Structure 1
């Protein structure tokens, strides 16, 4: 009965300006639902969804943060321990795109060094209101060496792909992560034993 329903637990974080569609992205992925009324997230909200990836059951704990400045202090504590961060802007809102630099600084300041980042240009279904070209999104992603996708929660474009790609990137990093951990331990504990074994 107490058997774990999953093999791995990944904590993901959605960040970005208020109104860019973070909550809609989360609900589209977790519940396959889209809500047309905008209700601003107060502080923090989260959803859980278990996915199947490379033969493993991965439980995604996805935290949706408030974009407003007044919740900034609450939400920064959620960067710690996050394994993946989705940075969302709205392709119809130039300011949300300009603020990416600020959000990236927040990640650098508050998240762990090896957190996997992904940039999402949301609302890509609204082609007639687009002000940020796909190329500009791609360029900023290349400059910062992070993954990039354009998404639409409304039309369900690339939503599942975004979460699966992010989870896969975290999964791919895991073996190397454990080897770096053992490397940092080795000089202290194992170095003295190693030459004895290796000399003969």
Structure 2
């Protein structure tokens, strides 16, 4: 393991409806083992993920990434904004067996974005004022990742249809997407497709934190929805019918 970076804070939020498996996913991500009896999250729970940034290059370094598992109870909705500051990435978790949890992903992101006006979220900007939450969230500079859980609970006959819904959401948000069973570490085993996507997401979150540290005070930290570590990203298709369906305000599910 390379030298550990101690001076840079990298903060990632984990958002989604209650019961979708955020705590189980976070535990698997940070400890590489399943948590078969996750507790109910009140407020938030913070875990640490060690990540090797750009291994094999002159910039190689180990970063301690803070993974903030945000509780989704409606009774604490008014106080969640306290955690929406200085973030460098957002993981959006939904239950593959619960379509409502997928529909609510744009609403969770809008909940974060709207606190920018109050000064609560200094690291996210939107390029224009719109009434479409899906369009707003696709313009933010924060790296995003969509995670679908409970893959093991989907029958083979329905898996292609349900899997495609999650993938379309990621396309709309111009980000990567993974699907897994949080009780099976093999889904994020080293070398797997999911592990590669997670590693790239963490690289982008670290690059975002590094960029923000060097941003001159008073300048907007807005960057285009292109990879901050190289490579132009395709502009999300916010106009497709599925995107409009996701943008429907269905409210948070407790």
Corresponding residue for 1:118? 145
Unaligned runs of 5+ in 2: 55-59, 116-120, 125-140, 189-193, 221-254
Change (3 A) 1:147 1:181: farther
Partner of residue 155, structure 1? 184
CA root-mean-square deviation: 2.8
Q: 1:12 deviation in Å? A: 0.8
- Match in the other structure for 2:88: 83
Distance 1:165 1:70 in 2: 35
Q: 1:72 aligns with which of 49, 73, 77?
A: 77
8 A contact 1:84–1:117 mirrored in 2: yes
Counterpart contact for 2:11–2:67, Cα < 8 Å: yes
Partner of 2:229: none
- Structure 1, 103-112 or 81-90: larger mean CA deviation: 103-112
Alignment of 1:160-179 (within 5 A): 160-161=195-196, 163-173=198-208
Q: Give the structure 1 partner of residue 171 of structure 2.
A: 142
2:5 is matched with which residue? 6
Deviates most, 88-97 or 125-134: 125-134
Would you say the 8 A contact 1:121–1:137 is kept in 2?
yes
Number of aligned positions between the proteins? 182
1:32 match: 32
Deviation for aligned residue 1:175: 6.4
TM-score by length of structure 1 reads: 0.77
Q: Deviations over 1:16-41 (max 9, x none)?
A: 00111111111112222322234211
Flag the 1:29–1:174 CA change in 2: closer, same or farther, 3 A.
closer
Please, which moves more after superposition, 173-182 or 133-142?
Answer: 173-182
Question: Structure 1: which 4+ aligned runs deviate by more than 3 Å?
Answer: 129-132, 158-163, 171-185
Post-superposition shift, 1:62? 0.9
Partner of 2:21: 21
Q: Distance in 1 between matches of 2:73 and 2:37?
A: 18
For residue 78 of structure 1, report the CA deviation from its aligned partner.
1.0
Does the 8 Å contact 1:17/1:96 carry over to 2?
A: yes
Residues 83 and 147 from structure 1, CA distance in 2 versus in 1: closer, same or farther, beyond 3 angstroms?
same
Give the structure with higher Rg (CA).
1
The correspondence for 2:155, drawn from 128, 151, 170, is 128
Over residues 79-107 of structure 1, what are the superposed CA-to-partner deviations in whole Å (9 max), with x where a residue is unaligned?
21111110100101122112112112113
Please report how far the alpha carbon of residue 47 of structure 1 lies from its aligned counterpart in structure 2 after TM superposition. 0.8
Residue in structure 1 matched with residue 230 of structure 2 by the alignment? none
